[in-house]
Every structure is written in C-alpha cells, then in structure tokens.
C-alpha cells in the first residue's frame, strides 16, 4: 500500500498557467460548461444492484443525481454560478493539455479570441468539466497516464472504495487561457451499503478538493 | 536630411536601441532577400515598412534585398483577427512558446502556408513594444522580445532590426530544395553528424613482445644476433635481425559515417638498428647499420559516440586493416675503409615490401567538437607477399626472410576534427 502511494504521488496531476495570479473570489461569476456530457458511470450493474435502480435507467438517474449534487455543492463556494449548455462546446477545438511527463488531459477548450456569453451575462471565468467518472477501485493513472493505458485491470468482486475521477479546467474567459487544469481522484471507503447520500458525500469531497486546488493557485 | 536625422538618432539612442528583454528565443531562420510581413492589431502603431527595410540592410549586410510590407491580408482576415486579438491580450513576460500557441486549426494552416516569409507581430503595451516572430511550420511564435517603444519610424525600425535580424541570412531555397528539405528528418533528431573527419599526428612505441605474454615466446628471436652480416639461427621473423623496440611516429587521416563505420588512412615510421654480434671481428669495418621502417595502410574503423560532458565527446573504436611495410637500409663503413669485406657485399637483404594486417582498439577524446586526443593500441604483422603463385620448386625454396614479423604498438595522438552534417 505504501509503495502504491509512493508511486502515484510522484506524478503531477495539475498544470497552472504563469498568468494565473489571483483565484476567482466567491462573488465573481463562474460559467459552468460540460456538465451535460461529463458524467460516466462504470460498472453500471454493480451500482444498479446496490442502489436498487433498474439497469434501463441507471445511467440517466445517477447522471442527473450526480450533476445536480455537483452544481449544488459548487454553489456553496461560488454564489454566482452560471449554467452554460453544452451546445456552446460544439465548435471548440479538442486538444491535450500536458500535466506531467506522461499525463495528458484531453478535452475541448474555447477558441482563442472568442468570449463565451450566457444570454446577456459574460462570466470572467469558466469552469469546464471534461470528465466525471464514477466506478469502483479505479486509478486515475489508468485513464490519464498514456504509459499505463491499455493495461488490463481485473474487476474485483470485493469492492474497497468507490472512486470518482474528475478532470477540469478553470478558464479565463476574457483572455482565453487555461488558468488551472487538473485531474482529481476521490476514494471513498465502501463497507456494504450504497445509498444516494453516500454518492452525495463523494461529490462533496470532490468539489471541496477542486475549490482547494483552485484557491491554492499553485500546482502541488 | 534623412541621413542626418538617422545619425542623430543613432548617436543619442545607442543604448536604447540595444535594450531588449527576451521572453523566449527559439531558433529561426533569416532568409536572404527576406520577405518581412508586419502584422499588428494596434491602430496607432508607429511603424514604417520602408524604414524597417532600410534598417535591415544597414544592420545585416548578409540579408541582401529584403522586402517589407504591412500584412494586410492577415489584418483583414477574421481567423487571424481572433488570434491577433488574443495575442495582444496575452503577450506577457515569463511565458514560453507553448503558452502562445495558435490553437485554431485554420490559424495553424495559415502559419504553415507562409513558406519562406517571416511575419512579425507587433503590439504596444505600456510604452513597450512586444514583437513576436512567426515562421512556417510552427504554431507558436519562434521568438518574443520586449523592445523599447519609439514614436519615430526610423528609430523603431532600427530597434526591431537590431533585436531580431542580426543573425547571418541563409539563401532562400528553390521549390525543389524546399520539397526535399520538408522530407528530411528534423535536425533536432540528427544527433550524430553524417560525416566526421579527423587528421592527426601520433607518437608511441612499438615492440615485439606482447604485454602479459611469456618471455619464452620471444626469447630466441630477441636474443638472436647476426654473424658475418647474414647468419642467424632463424630468419622467419625480422626481429632476428633488427631491434624490435623503437619509437613510432605516425600521421593519419580518417572519416566515419554516422559515427559508426569509417576508414583511416595512415603512414607510420620507425627506425630499427641491426643486431650485429659484436664479438664477430668482421664488423670492425662497420660504422652503423640500421633500417627505417615505413608503413602505409588503410583500416576499417567501428566506433560509437558518447557525449560524456557538454564539452567532451568520447568515441571508443576498434579497427582492422592492412598495411604495406618497406624497410630502407641505411649502412655505412668507417672512414678510411675503401674496400668492404666479401661478407659485407653479400649481406642479408630484406624483401622489397611486406604485406600485413593490423588489429586494435582505441578511443578518441574530442574536446569542444574539434580538438581531439587519440589513444590507440594494437598488433601489426608483416609477412611475405602472397601475390605470386608458388613455383613447382616451392618445397626446396628457402624461407622468406621476415615472413612472419609481428609487433604490438601503442600511441597517443593529437587530432583536429570537423564534421559535416
């Protein structure tokens, strides 16, 4: 276990732009993009059995549950959250941001020179959520470290943790630069009961960590 | 009048002209007869294409006849306008090239299609002029400089030319050359020069016994003495007749391809005394008797390059080759002796030339890419020429003198290196 921690902690999981000097204050408005398509549930059957939701609707139910949890939690830290529909992303170029030697975060980012608006309001910052993966005993290296990609991972019958992996970018909407990009991993110990409150706790932890990372302004 | 004004500015702004802050500077090319395109999103920027061109010609004599103009196409275009505005917003100190990369595929395509034109993007910020230089095939600026801003066109041209265009200009390529160059591997990956040549002189020692071998192998040869100008116990090796230990001088020229396989041409010289038996009274007439050995040959070299330090390249190598040896006799009788003895007249004669092989290893130590030290050791042989067919009386033929003469050698050399990419 110690070896495992030592291995994973050697990677840098975030990248900070040299011009990122000041974290967004709680009063400043933040546009939120990507929530409609970021959520991915792995091991749907396992979740379906535990949450007692039928397989037909497990994806849509958990998706809406997690997204609403996420936005509600986010509002605790930033009062002015503007929800921007995913249709805005349609023409954004897809590209990879380098976080570490072998770690790349792939996602869509707004074009240079174009300011994103929500009706009449122009938020100075955008929070772009690229992916929000929920599963059991996952490791973010397997998703974002290209040297570890293609590894076959055994699906274990005994679950120790429920994992959430979130990748996001804090975007300067006025200057169109990625201020802070990161991949976070939340491991929530699992005993034997899975409830909606339990999933809410994971989201709470994730949002808290995101907030801490953004406020710190420096990558670890 | 203009010249006078220029002189005035040069005189008073000589410090100002060279003041610059480099944000980052990657390698870029200055073309001879360059096409310089000035691109800016500032409406009130003081810049004149004509004056910039004058400054370029004055500052860089290698640049030929440059053409400068305002890049109207990009100033009007909506794709470049977006990137131009973005650059204006984001140019700042402490960034690197990747932070300023154009991300839109259309914009990247436009930069890629520049061919051998150079675009300089200018924007004014707080009495400073930010200059970003673009070249084809790179989505980010090649260099960004922060220069002093001037309200005078002549001076501004001078400042820009000084900061960005002082390097030696390269000839512009023809269409075919461009096509060929596009297919070449990136010079970044070309770590080893295509050809590596050296010329050197070396000094060392040659001797018959190989180090760490038993003395009994050589005892007979080395103790042998010539009696009556021709008699020895054995004549197979020349070391029966002449001293084996001698200083060795050589000059050589070599070249490797891709730092791996190569050839070396060499000439070696050493001088060997005849081993006369001093107890034999016949030698009283003799002043001196020695042989100069001249050897020329060619060896095949296998080597590998290691960059040991930034200033030192270590190139261990092994070689195998062939050589021709010539022994020039140098003999003289004492003064006053008019007629030599009969034995002198019928003294031993070596073959005209011996053919042999050599094998060995060594290492080049190359300092600052050009100055080398060469350590080399090996074994060389020389024997009878095998060019002629053995005659029918071969069995009764006497042994060829020096038919199997082996020695080893070690030398240290100084060299000059040059490489051709």
- Residue A86 at interface with chain B, using a CB cutoff of 8 Å: no
Which tokens hold the place of B199?
Answer: 């010329």
C-alpha of B227 from chain center? 52
pLDDT value of residue B387? 55
Dump the DSSP string for B227-262. Answer: BTTTB-S--SSGGGTB---EEEEEEEEEEEETTTEE
**DSSP letter, residue B276:** B
Helix count and strand count (H, E) for chain A? 6, 9
User: Contact at 8 Å (CB) between A20 and A219?
Assistant: no
Class of residue B14 by CB neighbours under 10 A (exposed 0-12, middle 13-18, buried 19+): exposed
Phi, psi of A26 (to 5 degrees): -60, -25
What are the residues of chain B with a beta carbon less than 8 Å away from any beta carbon of chain A?
A: 81-86, 89-90, 92, 94-95, 99, 102-105, 107
pLDDT value of residue A4? 43
Per-residue pLDDT of chain B (421 residues; tens, 9 = 90+): 455 555 544 444 444 556 788 888 888 889 988 899 999 988 888 889 999 999 999 999 899 899 999 998 998 899 999 999 999 999 999 888 989 999 888 999 999 988 889 999 999 988 899 999 999 888 899 999 999 998 898 999 999 999 999 888 888 888 888 888 777 766 555 556 678 899 999 999 999 999 999 989 888 888 889 988 888 888 888 999 999 999 999 999 999 988 889 999 999 999 999 999 888 888 989 999 999 999 999 999 999 988 888 888 899 999 999 999 999 999 999 988 888 888 898 888 888 899 999 999 999 999 998 999 999 999 999 987 555 565 666 565 556 788 889 999 999 999 999 987 6
Q: Where are the domains of chain B?
A: 2-183, 195-420
A174 contact residues in B (CB cutoff 8 A): 89
Test the A interface: residue of B78, B87, B89, B141 with most A CBs within 10 Å: B89
Class of residue A47 by CB neighbours under 10 A (exposed 0-12, middle 13-18, buried 19+): buried
Q: Which residue from A18, A112, A175 is facing B95, i.e. has the nearest CB?
A: A18
B121 contact residues in A (CB cutoff 8 A): none
Helix (H) or strand (E) run with residue A33 in it = strand A30-33
The shortest C-alpha distance from A34 to chain B (Å) reads 20
User: Contact at 8 Å (CB) between B248 and B272?
Assistant: no
Class of residue B314 by CB neighbours under 10 A (exposed 0-12, middle 13-18, buried 19+): middle
Which tokens hold the place of B63?
Answer: 């640049």
For A10, other C-beta atoms within 10 Å of its C-beta total: 8
Supply the pTM of this predicted model. 0.61
- What do you get for the CA distance between the two ends of chain A, in Å? 22
How many Å apart are CA A41 and CA A136, to the nearest integer?
A: 10
Does the CA dihedral B206-B333-B354-B392 come out positive or negative? negative
Q: Which residue from B86, B92, B95 is facing A112, i.e. has the nearest CB?
A: B86
A182: closest CA among A220, A134, A138, A148? A220
- What do you get for the CA distance between the two ends of chain B, in Å? 49
SS3 content of chain B, % helix, strand, coil (to 5): 25, 40, 35
Q: Which residue from B83, B92, B94 is facing A113, i.e. has the nearest CB?
A: B83
Residue written as tokens 């760490």? B212
How many Å apart are CA B157 and CA B117, to the nearest integer?
A: 18
For A16, the closest chain B residue by CA position comes to B99
- The CATH number of the structural domain formed by B195-420 is 2.40.160.20
Per-residue 3-state assignment (H helix, E strand, C coil) for B300-353: EEEECCEECCCCEEEEEEEEEEEEEEEEEEEEEECCCCCCCCHHHHCCCCCCCC
C-alpha of A53 from chain center? 24
- Residue A21 at interface with chain B, using a CB cutoff of 8 Å: no
B79 contact residues in A (CB cutoff 8 A): none
Helix (H) or strand (E) run with residue B202 in it = strand B195-207
- Residue A111 at interface with chain B, using a CB cutoff of 8 Å: yes
Q: Where are the domains of chain A?
A: 25-216
For B261, other C-beta atoms within 10 Å of its C-beta total: 11
How many Å apart are CA B243 and CA B241, to the nearest integer?
A: 7
For B421, other C-beta atoms within 10 Å of its C-beta total: 8
- Residue A114 at interface with chain B, using a CB cutoff of 8 Å: yes
Complete edge-to-edge strand list for the sheet that includes strand B143-148: B21-25, B143-148, B128-134, B117-125, B35-40, B67-70
β-partners of residue B300 are B263, B320
Instruction: Check B82 against A114: CB less than 8 A apart.
Output: yes
Which tokens hold the place of A203?
Answer: 């989201």
Dump the DSSP string for A127-196. Answer: EEEEEEEEEES--HHHHHBTTTTT------SS--EEEEEEEEEEEETTTTEEEEEEEEEEEEE--S---H
Instruction: Check A177 against B99: CB less than 8 A apart.
Output: yes
Question: Does residue A2 register a pLDDT over 50?
Answer: no
Residue written as tokens 């990558």? A219
ipTM confidence score:
0.83
Q: Are strands A177-189 and B35-40 parallel, antiparallel or unpaired?
A: unpaired
Test the B interface: residue of A112, A169, A174, A178 with most B CBs within 10 Å: A112
Phi, psi of B136 (to 5 degrees): -60, 160
A177 contact residues in B (CB cutoff 8 A): 90, 99
Phi, psi of B402 (to 5 degrees): 75, 25
pLDDT value of residue B189? 59
pLDDT value of residue B18? 64
β-partners of residue A94 are A108
How many Å apart are CA A187 and CA A139, to the nearest integer?
A: 9
CA angle B85, A104, A118 (to 5 degrees): 45
Q: Mean pLDDT across the stretch A201-218?
A: 87
């Amino acid at each position: 276990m110690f070896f495992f921690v030592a291995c994973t902690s050697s990677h840098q999981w975030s990248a900070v732009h040299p011009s990122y000097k000041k974290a967004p204050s709680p009063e400043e408005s933040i546009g939120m993009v990507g929530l409609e398509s970021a959520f991915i549930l792995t091991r749907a059957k396992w979740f379906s059995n535990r949450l007692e939701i039928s397989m037909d609707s497990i994806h849509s139910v958990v998706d809406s549950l997690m997204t609403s949890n996420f936005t509600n939690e986010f509002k605790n830290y930033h009062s002015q959250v503007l929800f921007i529909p995913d249709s805005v992303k349609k023409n954004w170029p897809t590209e990879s941001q380098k976080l570490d030697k072998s770690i790349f975060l792939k996602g869509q980012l707004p074009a240079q020179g174009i300011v994103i608006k929500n009706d009449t309001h122009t938020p100075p910052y955008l929070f772009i959520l690229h992916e929000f993966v929920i599963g059991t005993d996952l490791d973010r290296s397997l998703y974002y470290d290209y040297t570890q990609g293609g590894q076959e991972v055994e699906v274990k019958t005994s679950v120790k943790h429920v994992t959430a992996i979130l990748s996001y970018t804090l975007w300067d909407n006025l200057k169109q630069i990625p201020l802070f990009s990161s991949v976070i991993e939340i491991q929530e110990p699992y005993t034997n009961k899975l409830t909606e409150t339990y999933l809410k706790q994971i989201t709470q932890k994730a949002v808290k960590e995101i907030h801490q990372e953004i406020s710190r302004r420096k990558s670890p | 009048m203009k010249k006078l004004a220029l002189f005035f500015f040069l005189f008073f702004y000589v410090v100002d002209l060279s003041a610059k802050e480099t944000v980052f500077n990657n390698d870029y090319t200055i073309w001879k007869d360059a096409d310089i395109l000035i691109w800016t999103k500032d409406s009130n920027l003081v810049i004149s294409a004509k004056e910039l061109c004058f400054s370029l010609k004055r500052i860089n004599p290698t640049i030929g006849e440059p053409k400068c103009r305002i890049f109207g196409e990009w100033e009007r275009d909506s794709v470049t306008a977006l990137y131009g505005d973005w650059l204006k917003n984001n140019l700042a100190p402490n960034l690197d090239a990747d932070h300023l990369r154009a991300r839109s595929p259309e914009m990247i395509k436009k930069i890629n299609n520049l061919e051998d034109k150079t675009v300089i993007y200018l924007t004014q910020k707080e009495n400073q002029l930010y200059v970003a230089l673009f070249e084809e095939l790179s989505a980010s600026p090649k260099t960004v400089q922060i220069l002093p801003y001037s309200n005078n066109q002549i001076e501004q041209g001078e400042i820009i030319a000084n900061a960005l265009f002082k390097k030696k200009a390269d000839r512009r390529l023809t269409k075919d050359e461009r096509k060929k160059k596009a297919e070449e591997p990136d010079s970044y990956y070309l770590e080893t020069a295509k050809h590596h040549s050296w010329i050197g002189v070396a000094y060392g020692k040659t001797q018959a016994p190989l180090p760490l071998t038993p003395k009994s192998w050589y005892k007979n040869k080395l103790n042998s003495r010539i009696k009556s100008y021709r008699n020895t116990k054995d004549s197979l090796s020349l070391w029966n007749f002449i001293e084996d230990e001698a200083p060795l001088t050589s000059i050589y020229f070599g070249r490797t391809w891709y730092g791996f396989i190569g050839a070396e041409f060499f000439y070696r010289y050493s001088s060997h005394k005849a081993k006369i038996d001093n107890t034999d009274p016949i030698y009283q007439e003799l002043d001196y008797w020695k042989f100069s050995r001249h050897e020329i040959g060619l060896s095949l070299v296998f080597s590998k390059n290691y960059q040991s330090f930034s200033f030192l390249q270590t190139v261990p190598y092994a070689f195998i080759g062939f050589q021709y040896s010539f022994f020039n006799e140098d003999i003289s009788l004492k003064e006053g002796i008019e007629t030599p003895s009969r034995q002198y007249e019928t003294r031993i004669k070596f073959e005209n030339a011996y053919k042999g092989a050599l094998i060995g290893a060594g290492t080049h130590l190359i300092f600052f890419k050009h100055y080398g030290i060469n350590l080399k050791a090996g074994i060389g042989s020389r024997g009878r020429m095998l060019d002629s067919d053995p005659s029918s009386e071969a069995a009764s033929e006497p042994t060829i003198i020096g038919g199997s003469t082996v020695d080893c050698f070690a030398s240290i050399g100084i060299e000059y290196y040059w490489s051709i990419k």
